[in-house]
């Protein structure tokens, strides 16, 4: 019985029992048939072992592929999140010129004068104190001049007036330079008043406007 292996050609003699099962009385096979069957079985065994190894390797590759796919999916999610963050940042930086005006005050000057009247000091300091309560605040200073006299002189007057007010904000109000926008010298531009040719109208234009601003992008992130 131990010699019977798959692929072995045998000659069997016997009878069927009541269960229609063949009951062998004799089983014969040739020696060379046994050797051939054994060689075939040996080859099949190696094939089965190789097939099993191939299947195991395939399972490993499949598991590695699934892991790579999971990592790729995770990486794509991170890229999408980063892109969304970048898009949001770009949108925010695109609003850098858009500010909310929280407060403002105007300092007026005499004709040809650039020195700040001390009566405005308390008003300016109160403005700086309010500014410091606002997240991400900036202070804008714009100097103006009336349209009397030369344009070049008025440009210089508006610059000196803006610088004089800025110095008070920085030195007395202790406003950090990083919170100050560059002072603007507006010269004769943006004339205000009903009649800029009158003394009263000209006085309204000899001014420095100070504003407390908050960038809309920063405000939107709060």
Other Cβ atoms within 10 Å of 209 Cβ, number? 19
Average pLDDT over residues 19-32: 82
Rounded to whole angstroms, how far apart are CA atoms 113 and 15? 135
pLDDT tens-place string over residues 146-185 = 988 899 999 999 999 999 999 999 999 999 999 999 899 9
Tokens 């003394």 found at: 199
Mean pLDDT of the chain: 84
pLDDT tens-place string over residues 36-50 = 777 677 666 667 777
Other Cβ atoms within 10 Å of 202 Cβ, number? 19
> Which pTM was predicted?
0.55
pLDDT tens-place string over residues 190-208 = 888 777 788 888 999 999 9
Other Cβ atoms within 10 Å of 197 Cβ, number? 10
Residue 2 — very low, low, confident or very high, per pLDDT cuts 50/70/90? Answer: low
Rounded to whole angstroms, how far apart are CA atoms 195 and 93? 40
């Amino acid at each position: 019985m131990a010699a019977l292996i798959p692929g072995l050609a045998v000659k069997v003699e016997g009878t069927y029992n009541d269960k229609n099962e063949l009951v062998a009385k004799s089983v014969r096979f040739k020696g060379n048939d046994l050797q051939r069957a054994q060689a075939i079985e040996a080859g099949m065994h190696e094939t089965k072992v190789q097939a099993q190894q191939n299947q195991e390797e395939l399972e490993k590759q499949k598991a590695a592929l699934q892991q790579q796919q999971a990592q790729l999916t995770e990486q794509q999610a991170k890229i999408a999140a980063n892109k969304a963050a970048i898009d949001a940042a770009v949108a925010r930086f695109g609003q850098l010129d858009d500010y909310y005006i929280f407060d403002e005050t105007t300092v007026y000057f005499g004709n040809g004068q650039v020195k700040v009247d001390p009566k405005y000091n308390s008003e300016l300091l109160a403005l700086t104190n309010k500014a410091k309560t606002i997240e991400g605040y900036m202070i804008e200073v714009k100097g103006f001049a009336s349209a009397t006299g030369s344009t070049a002189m008025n440009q210089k007057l508006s610059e000196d007036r803006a610088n004089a007010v800025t110095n008070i904000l920085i030195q007395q109000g202790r406003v950090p330079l990083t919170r100050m926008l560059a002072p603007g010298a507006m010269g004769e531009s943006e004339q205000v008043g009903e009649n800029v040719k009158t003394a009263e109208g000209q006085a309204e234009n000899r001014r420095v406007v100070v504003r407390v601003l908050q960038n809309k992008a920063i405000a939107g992130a709060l």
